[in-house]
Structure 1
Amino acid sequence: MELLLALLLAGVKAAPPFLEEPSNGSVVLGKEAELRCAVRGGVAVQWARGGLLLGALPGPAHPRYRLVGDPRKGEHHLRIMAARLEDDGVWQCQAGGGNGTAGSRPALLTVMVPPARPELELPEGAELPWREGAELEVRCRVGGARPAANLRLTLGGEPLPEVSSHVTEDGSDPRLSTTQITVRVSPRRGSHGQTLHCSATNEAGGDPTETHLTVSVLFPPEPPTIEGLESPNVRLGDTLRLLCMARGGNPAPSLHWEKDGVPLLSPWFSDSPRGGAAALSRSRVVLTVTRMDDGVTLSCRSRSAAGGGGTDSVTIRVYYLPAEVTILGSPTVAENGTLSLACSSAPSNPPVRLRWWLGGRELPHGDTAVTPAEGGGSVSMSNVTLIGHRRDHGRALLCEALSPGLGSRSASVLLGVTHPPQEVWLEGPPPNATFRVGARVRLLCHARGGHPAPRLVWTRDGRPVKDGTPQSGGAVVSRELQIVVTPNDNGAVYRCEVGGQRGGPSAHTRLSVLCVTSPSQCRTGPLLL
């Protein structure tokens, strides 16, 4: 019996204190990890990392570590917040009591690090742009990963044949790895504009990290062509908008305009190729035809560092309409005032006859004066005088130049007749309203019509009020005034009028204030708070 009791006591002492022990696991850098440990009741627990006890948790030295679980059930799980590389290693849960200390089985926690953004490397001789048919090697590398990253290189979505691949220790931390692969590229014309793409992944999961560049392949352009001229016969004053285009070429060809061998300043640009198509280079020249342009030759030349190029040209013939018609003088007049304007044409052949129009009706005017122009043709001039009427404000005043057999040319201006607004009115509380001190009152002033647009101003008892927000909507101009009522506003007159116009239309309102401190000054009427 005594022997049996001794064996039972020895069995109690040897019983393991752990109900649950930590297991090997992994965590992504910056994420949360949990190591589980549960012991029998009455047993103290500490955690150790790499054989070193961490002490009471959380603590100043380990603010990211927390003990979670129900201690009454013996749960002392370790939660690691925002995992770092320093958390990588062997962990152990140690339980101790009056009979000594026991350690759980060791648990290896592996901290995994997603790969950084990869880098594409173009060795010497493989710099962009590439020449079609060349045999090139391209490298991609990525570091800072654990475990080592897998790299994939594609061109236009198609994988490239791998030449070599190797993994080395990252210089920033021996636990991290750097992966590098080398692939072979044989660029073709169809490769131009495609994307060279490198992506990196590892067991840390998450989206792949990527980098890319757009491939450029050298090839010559096609000869240029000129578009935009329906006929070589043009009229004096016409605006020629000619477009020179050259398809293909990388680098894109430069385009150069000449007029009878004299260079013309004109920019050129190129559309980037898509889907393997060649670039389209374009240059536009805009010319106003003059008498001196009769018989000139316009040419467009293309030049490319990849070779090729060429020239296209057109020769134009000029017919004599005036290059332009000009209205001289200011088209602004006061209401009922007198306005005089002159109209002059550029040289024409034959001379043009000038006519004046306002709102669709022809105006009486003096005879057209004709004088010879230097270099040929004639200059025509005519004067007109009219009275400014409000109904004509904003109408087009047009001077038309007629030439038999050739057509007409014209110029126009908008007639501006200055006049005051038609009316000014207020939006606000009822006229008999009474307000408490401190109440907010909103007054909105409107003015309809007028040219130029009226500038509304607010006054209080004849003195300007600086506040007020201007608004505009179509033919109506508004200005808002926000008032915080004071005792001094009792009987005050707020007036809205057009700035800079004495005796013009205006609108006003008078405030009535409920004065608690001086009842004799109070006004009657509906009370608005």
Structure 2
Amino acid sequence: MALRIRIKAALLLLGLLTTGLTQVPIPASAPRGFWALPENLTVVEGAVAELRCGVRAPGSTVQWAKDGLLLGPDPRIPSFPRYRLEGDPAKGEFHLHIEACDLSDDAEYECQVGRSETGPELVSPRVILSILVPPKVLQLTPEAGSTVTWVAGQEYTVSCVSGDAKPAPDITFLLSGQTISGISANVNEGSQQKLFTTEATARVTPQSSDNGQLLVCQGSSPALDTPIKASFTMNILFPPGPPVIEWPGLDEGQVRAGQSLELSCTARGGNPLATLQWLKNGQPVSTAWGTEHAQAVARSLLVMIVRPEDHGARLSCEAYNSVSSGIQERGVTLQVTFPPSAITILGSASQSENKNVTLSCITKSSRPRVLLRWWLGWRQLQPSEETVMDGLHGGHISMSNLTFLARREDNGLTLTCEAFSEAFTKETFKKSLTLNVKYPAQKLWIEGPPEGQRLRAGNRVRLVCLAIGGNPDPSLTWYKDSRTVTEPRPPQEPRRVQLGSVEKSGSIFSRELVLITGPSDNQAKFTCKAGQLSASTQLVVQFPPTNVTILANASTLRPGDALNLTCVSVSSNPPVNLSWDKEGERLEGVAAQPRRAPFKGSAAARSVLLRLSSRDHGHRVTCSAHSSELRETVSAFYRLNVLYPPEFLGEQVLVVTAVEQGEALLPVSVSANPAPEAFNWTFRGYRLSPAGGPRHRILSGGALQLWNVTRADDGLYQLHCQNSEGTAEALVRLDVQYAPTIRALQDPTEVNIGDSVDIVCTVDANPILPGMFNWERLGEEGEDQSLDDMEKMSKGSTGRLRIHHAKLTQAGAYQCIVDNGVAPPARGLVRLVVRFAPHVEHPAPLTKVAAAGDSTSSATLHCRARGVPNIIFTWTKNGVPLDLQDPRYTEHTYHQGGVHSSLLTIANVSAAQDYALFTCIATNPLGSDHTNIQLVSISRPDPPSGLKVMSMTPHSVGLEWKPGFDGGLPQRFQIRYEALGTPGFLYMDVLPPQATTFTLTGLQPSTRYRIWLLASNALGDSGLDDKGSQISITTPGLDQPSREPDYQLPTEQPAGPSEMPLLPVLLAAGGLLLLSNASCVGGFLWQRRLKRLAEGISEKTETGSEEDRVRNEYEESQWTGDRDTRSSTVSTTDVEPYYHSMRDFSPQLPPTMEEVSYPRGEALEEENMAFPGHLYDEVERVYAPSQAWGPLYDEVQMDSCDFRWPEDRYEDAKRIYDQVAGDLDPMEPDAIPFELRGHLV
């Protein structure tokens, strides 16, 4: 402590001695007068104000006057600790900076320039600084933020009192979002002149629908952008509804044996939710139930396997809760249906032909009774006797006797006894036997197409020879016209004849012959023989003409020539009709004499005479041989080759569309025989060179190809072509089109959450198509980019994307894409900004921050919220607005897109004044939200919790726990343990001190231990009473496997002496004396170092580029200077403030010499630490923000031990004003201190 005091005293003395050195002389020839005059300014109480004054006589003495009182030329203005002069005196900058403005600052100000050797004194015009005072808190009774339990239907009274404000605020109450009428309100005087408070009272009668809803007190004032709010949650008690059993089917109580019955009992509503239980015949069978709080439903599921003995049982469900007047019950009676478990047939099913067979069929018990019937194959038999008897579980047993005559045709049939009932319509219960009847052999026959049936050539014909009976088995042989039928050898493909082997099926023997019919099978006789028995069949095969040929009388043809063609059909069955056609046009022919036809078929011939024209060239003249009976036609064609001059076809394109700066092809559709010898194009009277030009060429087919077309190429093109037979001409028009261009697109487009908005895109294009507009949503991979909930519209050259009921997830970048078929499509980006009310993040129901209340310490409270547009933070203490004019309070505000943060630093913490409940209220034009932070005294730490074993070996155990509140001081952990049965305790310190995992070693195998965990700080330990900080274990034996953790736990360090070594203490005392003597020299060197760092910032600023500027999706990055008090507001896309938890920070107690560590040997770095709060050198002990803030900012990464700003980041704040904030280079979040981030200009 002595070392720190002497260092501070030396620096203070050095600062007083060097005050005069800060003013640099300016040449007397510099111009005089003002280059910047102050202006009237209005700010909200607690904001920062700056009155600008720029002087062209920097060598003169400059000071400010407040209501005629001179403040003095000293830049620090000692009489007004919140006032100071800012700017570079060398540049004539003497700006008056006032922090934490209050009503005392409401006055007239003027900038005065003292008389110098070169001119008289100057005085600026007087300006007025006005202060506005908004209400900062609402005191709600019952307490805001709590949960109040009420009974539905009863009446209750609530009251709400506002804090000091000017003018008096208006107060309204909202119950479940609805405004309460009949409010009684009174306006009272505030704690100071011109300040007022409002007190309002309302009576409410809650209903069950209000359960879980908010009762909100809302205060509004002209001094506020948005109303402030306070609320509590209502917990309404009411009974549940009656239970309901969900029966899985239409018939309640009807079940099948073996069925898995699942019954769900549901009771809806109630607070608390209902308790359910199941009973079977009055006995509980299930007391398990579950609740779904989101749907306010209690549900119990009963699962049971139905058995026959459950017939007649009653199942019931009971429901009740603590406010029910009685138990509510719902029940159902089971009616169990069960089939017979087995069927038995008594007797033999083997018998000789024409003798009786006797059998009996008996079933097991069933409910209801089943009927029995007998089947022989598909034929039902009548039983001779039927009997029914009583069975188990209310069921019945059925029996049926059967006697019938065995016949030859019934051999091999299935004899079945079938049990059936209307209750089992979807199930079959039966027992089957196979009937065996013996009989002698029978006849031989052929199965195939009927005799005389006409068969088509190429069809597959199957002939089967069958013989019944006979012993030995008969052999079957096939013949075709007295020749034995054999299969062709393998090289013959495809196989037209397939001869099967003799097969037996019961008493039937068969052999199959499969034919692919052809003309040679027409009227052939096929015979099957088996010994002396034989059977025959004859096939009639129909086939189309085997060959059709066309003969011509000439080869060279021209228009007007006569051509004679003759068509010949060789053979067919039945006879065919010959016909002529030319390209679908029927021609009349003349019959001719045919030749003799093979395969017992018919031949035909027919001629036709043609008169030719140019249109006949390339046409085919077809001869068709058609059989009306076969419905088949065989055709042959003759292609005509007619010589004629060029002729343009009907499909010749007359208009060609092209894209500007693209290519165009003017096609040619011309017919000529022979082909045209040349193609000549002319445009506007000029012939285009056949050899091509810079932007055109004539293709081999006569088409004209153009490239890099312009609008001047639009017009008529004339084509001339010729061959050896003649010439022809045609005109083709070229139409040039162009791609779309976006002319209007509003960016950004803003909308309040829940409202509707149109994103409008207007283009210039040709052609304009109805469906040429398209929209895309841009974003990172994995984000929802769907436009399903948006409406796309277009009319003419304007397209719209309509968004209904805007949501936060719809905010972002959208792209308008216009494609009229002419590339490239036009694309335009537009940002959609969705504005929403603030939402404050609540890391815990109540956050605690500790600080010593001896008026020498400071504490920092942190508040973070989300909202768009920017959020304004206000603070209250115990429900009273915080007076930020008090120099002990400093607020810093930061903005990053839709995320906003406020840090409140309290200097000189007093137990009497500052140990209180602080409330952070975040507001923007759309609403507000708040959170509470309790400032408490430095105390012993809370006990750790959640002590558990992570791994265990015979000689060690891995432990893990959750630390409690550290009491505002660095805490360390100590393990106390004992081996049961062994007297005494052992202690082990956890290293590093802030660790929450530790491996305790040195244990014995197979030993039971009891382990305690203690937390301690400079004020004491947490004690051993908490059950969550002790555990009992038994180490495994050497022969048991060890349980290893998935990660490496820290182990204890070798124990060393805890006493402070004497030698370092002596060295520290010597170093203290040396530092005291060197303080003046060190202070001078420090001033030079700050100057060099400021020049470095200026150089970095000048080298910034336009590309380094970053815009978020809501607003530009900027330093907001409209709220000028002892707080500052930063809005940036890349920079988040440095936040430190109490786990990484502690009050800087006097270190010994060996504990002091300065980076790169700078011993004075300790005195220049930059925290988010203001430093009061004469009273403050440096504290960091509370540990409760740490988890809020996952995106901020920092070393837990690095709590100082690096020395290369200390830069002179005055030099940063040389550039505009937008020209600064982007830096890392921890690149510069808070006071140097951004720019006020």
* TM-score using structure 1 length: 0.44
More helix by share: 2
Q: Which has the higher strand share?
A: 1
